[in-house]
Amino acid sequence: MPQPSNSAPSTNGVAVSFVITVWLEPSGHLDRPQWRWRVTQAGTGEHSYFTRLADLLSYIGQKAGVSPPS
């Protein structure tokens, strides 16, 4: 398992930080709640909402100027 890092990711020497809020919403299936994510870019306060993890990672990669993890 990868070890957490204490340093913020950076592109071109500039740190890019995000606050990610995660919650579960009820769905039609009681045993399968829907995952939701809100990403706030710390420097701008811009909020974006996601229902798919792949979309969330792609967004962060795009904003940070790097490829998202695979």
CA nearest neighbour of 60 among 35, 42, 41 = 41
Query: What's the pLDDT tens digit per position in 26-45?
Result: 888 777 899 999 999 998 99
Residue-by-residue DSSP string for 27-48: -SSTT-PEEEEEEEETTT--EE
On average, the pLDDT of the chain sits at 84
What is the pTM assigned to this prediction? 0.71
